[in-house]
A and B are shown apart, each in its own frame.
Chain A
C-alpha cells in the first residue's frame, strides 16, 4: 500500500509550486487575454480568393484604422481577426433602412485591396465568413454572471455533499475539501490560460468558459469517488465497532480507488490527445485547456481533496502555527 497521507506536506508544496507561476502571471498586468465576450470588441473570419499574407492583412487593417488588430491564419486559409469594436450595423434607432455600417465599409475596403472574398465552399461572397461583436455593457455582464454561476454551483455542491455524507462524522468537511480541490483546479487552469496567453496569444472566450465548466464537473466527480470510498470504509469499521483514524481510512481508500482514478484519467487523456491530434483547429485551444484541467482534476482528488480532509482532522494548520510559535519563543 502506498502511503499517500504521510507525504501530504510534499503534495501541498508541489501543488503550491504548480500554482505559483500561474498566479504570478495572473497578477502581472495583462494577466488574462480576454476574448471579446469579456472585454468587448469584434472577431471576424475572412477568406480571400488570392493568396494574402498575414503581414499584408495586418498592415491593411492598420491603415484602415485598426492598428491593434490581431491576425491569425488557419490551415484551411482563413484569417481570424480580432479588433476593437466594429459596429456591425448603423445605430439601430431610428430604425430604418440600414446605412452602410463600419463592417460593410471594411469589407468593401478589404475586397478592393486583396480581391474577392469567398465562403467556405469557395464561392465569392465578398463578405466576412464570421462576424461577432460584443459591446462593453454585455461583456461586463457575462464576466459577472460566469463567476456567479461557478460560485453558486460550488455552494450547491458543498451542500449536497454535506447532506450525502451525513452518516460519517463531520460531513461538512467532505464538501469543503472537494471545493478546495475545485479551487485548486480553477487556479491551475486560469494560470495556464494566462501563461498560454502570454506565449501563444491564447484568449479566453466562451469556449474557455465551457471547458472550465467541464473541468469543474470532473473535479468534483473525482473527489466524490474517493470520498465515497472513505465513507464506506469508515462506516464499515464503525459497524465492526471501532473507530479508525481518518488518516488511515483515507489512505486505504486512495489505494483502493487508485486503479479507477488512473484508468478514468487515461481514457479521458487518450481521448483528448486523439482529438487534439486529429480534430479540427478551431477547438484545439479548448481541448488543451480541458487536458490541463482534467489532469489537474485527477491529481487534486488524490493529492489535494483527500489530503485536506486529513489535515483538517489532524489539525495540521494548528500544528504548523504552534511550531512557528515555539520557534519564535525559542
Chain B
C-alpha cells in the first residue's frame, strides 16, 4: 500500500465496481440469484433509488436490453423479387420499402422495433412482443396515400396544432406568409364533390402510376411531374381551383403520416394554379423529389416482398431461457472461483475478486451501451469469463516460476505480469480480429445472432484485459508488504524445491551443456 498509484487505482476499482453493481443490479434479484439469501428489493433513499439499476432523480433507470429470442417477439426477413421488373432500381426500391415498413411498424406503436436492410435484396424487421401473424397483418396492409390540405374552422381560420396537443387558430393570410406555421397546421384529406354529388377524398388511387417522374425545369431546378387518371383529373381540377386562390399548401400522407423531406419538414408545396390531368411540384430538393416520386408511384411497396424467414418466440418461453442462462452463468462463475482459490490460494482469491469486478463492469457496460443480449451473446459472455480467468492463470503460473527461481515476491509479481503480457495480448488481439470479422459478416447478412456474439465477446475481452491485469495487479501490490505476505505458501510456490534446484530449466540439459562448453 505504499505506492500512491496503487492507492489511486484501488480507489478507482472500488468506485467503478460499486457503480457497476448499482447499475447492473436486477430489478427482481430473487429470480436470478439464489433465493435463500434475502436480497435488497427496490429501495429509495431520497432521490437515489436502487433496484432496476441505479436511478438518481428518476434518471437512468434501465432494464437490460434483451434480444427477441429472450424477450419474445417476431423477426421477419422479407426478400424483394424484381424478376418481373427488370427496370426497377433495387437499391432505391429497398430503401423506400424499408421506409414504408418502418412507418407502418411505428404506426402501431411497437417499442424498440428495428427495420433494416440486410444483404443485397432483403429487409429484416424485428418486433418485440408481437406475434408473426399480427406483424404480417400490419406490415402487409395496402398503404394509403392521401392528398391533404390544412384544416379550417367555421370562420375560415387555419387550425394549428401545438406540440402539447392543444390547438389554436390563425387567419389564412398569416399562415401562408409563415412557412413554419404551415408545418404546424392540422391537415385533413382534400375532398371534393364529384359529378354524382358524392363527396370523395383525393387519394393515391387517382394517380396515373406510370406517369410520375422527376425532371428539371427551364431554370435547371428539379420538378416532380405527375399525371392523373381520368376520374382523378376532374376531382383534382375541382380541388386545385379551390386551393389555388390564394395558393395554399397541399401535403401527401402515407398511412396517416405526412411524407417528410430529408430535413424532416413536411413536404407541402403551394398549389399555384388549377391542375387537372397533369401537375408539377417545384421547390423540392432533388433527393426529396426522387423519394416523393417513388412513394407516389408505388403507394405501397415498390417491389413485391416475400417472407423468406420468420421466427417467433413466446414471451414466457424467452423468460424461462433468461432465468436458465443466468443461473447457468452463476454456477459457472462459482465453479471457476472455487477452483482458482483451491489451486492458487491467495492470488486465486484475488483473481476471483477481479472476476467479480469483471462481471459487474461488463454487465454495467451492456446496460448503459446498451448491448442487446441474446442467447448467443450469453455464450460469448461465459466464454469471455473463461478468457479472463485464463489470463490470470497465465500470470500466476509465471509468478510461481519466478518465485521458484528465487526472485523476491514483488519482483516475481511484476515479472509474472510482464512476461505473461505478450501471450495475453496476442491471444486477445486474435480474438478481437475474429470478433471484428464476425461482426462485419453478421452485419452484411443480417445474422443478428453472430453479430450479438461478436459484439459481446469483443466487449468482454476488452474488459477482461483490464480486470485480469490491472485489477489483479493492483490487489497484489496493495497486499505486498503486509506481514501475512511472508508466507509464500499463500502463493502456492514450492519454495523448498526451488532452493534445491535453483537453475532455470528453460532449456533442456543438452542445450545448457552446449552453452556452457561451446
Residues of A with Cβ closer than 8 Å to B?
1, 45, 76, 88-89, 91-98, 101, 103-104, 119-121, 125, 127-135, 137-138, 141-142, 145-146, 148-149, 152-153, 156-157, 160-161, 164, 206-207, 209-211, 213-214, 216-218, 220-221, 224-225, 228-229, 231-233, 236-237, 240, 242, 244-245, 248-249, 251-252, 255-257, 259-260, 263-264, 266-268, 270-271, 274-275, 278-280, 282-283, 286
Kindly list chain B residues whose C-beta atoms are within 8 Å of the C-beta of A137: 79, 308
- What residues of chain B lie closer than 8 Å to A249, measured between beta carbons? 507
Does chain A have a CB within 8 A of B89?
no
Instruction: Say how far B377's CB is from chain A's closest CB, in angstroms.
Output: 9
Asked if A213 and B450 sit within 8 Å, CB to CB, the answer is yes
Q: Which of these, A89, A135, A267, contacts B132 with CB under 8 Å? A: A89
Q: Which residues of B339-390 have CB atoms within 8 Å of chain A's CB atoms?
A: 339-340, 343, 375-376, 379-380, 382-383, 385-387, 389-390
Complex-state Cα separation, A225 to B383, whole angstroms: 17
**Minimum C-beta distance from A147 to chain B (A):** 11
Given A130-B312, A132-B309, A157-B430, 5 other A-B residues pairs in contact with their CB atoms under 8 A: A88-B310, A121-B316, A128-B314, A130-B314, A131-B132
Cross-chain contact B140 with A98 (CB below 8 angstroms)? yes
Q: A131 contacts B339, CB within 8 Å?
A: no
Inter-chain CA distance A135–B306, complex, in Å, is: 10
Please, which residue of chain B has its CB at the minimum distance from the CB of A44?
Answer: B312
Residue of B nearest to A148 (CB): B441
CA distance A218 to B375 in the complex (A): 19
Residue contact A157 to B433, C-beta cutoff 8 Å: yes
Q: Which of B119, B132, B394 contacts A225 (CB under 8 A)?
A: B394
Asked if B317 is at the interface (CB within 8 A of a chain A CB), the reply is yes
Contact partner of B317 (CB less than 8 A), chosen from A129, A164, A257, is A129
Given contacts A206-B449, A248-B510, contact A135 B308 (CB under 8 A): yes
Is B508's CB within 8 Å of the partner chain A? yes
Query: When chains A and B are docked, how far (Å) is the Cα of A92 from the Cα of B123?
Result: 13
**Those 6 A-B pairs whose CB atoms lie nearest each other, nearest first:** A120-B316, A280-B324, A228-B423, A95-B140, A279-B328, A132-B311
- Do B375 and A283 have beta carbons less than 8 Å apart? yes
Give every chain A residue within 8 A of B332 (Cβ-Cβ): 271, 274-275
Bound CA span A14–B321, Å = 39
Task: Assess A119 versus B314: contact at CB under 8 Å? Given A214-B383, A218-B383, A280-B324.
Answer: yes
B514 partner residues in chain A, CB cutoff 8 A:
242
Q: Does B183 contact A (CB under 8 A)?
A: no
17 contacts between A and B (CB under 8 A): A1-B505, A89-B310, A93-B301, A95-B141, A98-B136, A129-B314, A129-B317, A130-B313, A138-B77, A206-B449, A210-B453, A224-B427, A225-B427, A256-B401, A271-B385, A278-B327, A280-B325
Majority secondary structure of chain A interface residues (helix, strand, loop or mixed): helix
CB distance from B444 to the nearest CB of A (A): 8
By CB atoms of chain B within 10 A, which of A76, A93, A252, A278 has the most?
A93
Q: How far is the CB of A180 from chain B (nearest CB, A)?
A: 15
The answer to whether A242 touches B515 (Cβ under 8 A) is: yes
Q: Using CB atoms and an 8 Å cutoff, list the residues of chain B in contact with chain A.
A: 77-79, 119, 131-133, 136-137, 139-142, 300-301, 304-317, 319-321, 324-325, 327-328, 331-332, 335-336, 339-340, 343, 375-376, 379-380, 382-383, 385-387, 389-390, 393-394, 397, 400-401, 419, 422-423, 426-427, 429-431, 433-434, 437-438, 441, 444-445, 447, 449-450, 453, 457, 505-508, 510-511, 514-515, 518
Shortest beta-carbon distance from B24 to chain A in Å: 21
Report Cα–Cα, A8/B444, bound state, in Å.
Answer: 42
Cα distance A93–B510 in the bound complex, in angstroms: 78
Is the beta-carbon distance between B309 and A135 smaller than 8 angstroms? yes
Q: Which residue of B lies closest to A281 (CB)?
A: B324
Within the complex, what minimum Cβ distance (angstroms) separates B66 from chain A?
A: 15
Q: A96-B141, A271-B336 are in contact. Are A220 and B328 (CB under 8 A)?
A: no
B327 contacts across to A, CB distance below 8 A: 278-279
Q: Answer whether A242 and B375 are a contact pair too, CB < 8 Å, given A96-B140, A149-B437.
A: no
Distance A214 CA – B316 CA, assembled complex (angstroms): 28
Known: A92-B305, A274-B332. A248 touches B133 (CB 8 A): no
User: Which chain B residues border A225 with CB–CB below 8 Å?
Assistant: 390, 394, 423, 427
Cβ–Cβ < 8 Å partners of B507 in chain A: 233, 237, 244, 248-249, 252
CB distance from A103 to the nearest CB of B (A): 8
CA gap between A24 and B505 in the complex, in Å: 44
**Are A210 and B379 in contact, CB atoms less than 8 angstroms apart?**
yes
Measured CB to CB, the closest approach of chain B to A5, in angstroms, equals 10
The 8 Å CB contact of B390, one of A101, A221, A242, A282, is A221
**CA–CA, A98 to B514, complex, Å?**
84
Q: Is the CB of A213 within 8 A of B434?
A: yes
Q: Which residues of B contact A228 (CB under 8 A)?
A: 422-423, 426-427
Selected contact of B328 from candidates A160, A164, A240, A280, CB within 8 Å: A280
Q: Which residues of A contact B343 (CB under 8 A)?
A: 263
Give which listed residue, A94, A259, A270, contacts B397 with CB less than 8 A. Answer: A259
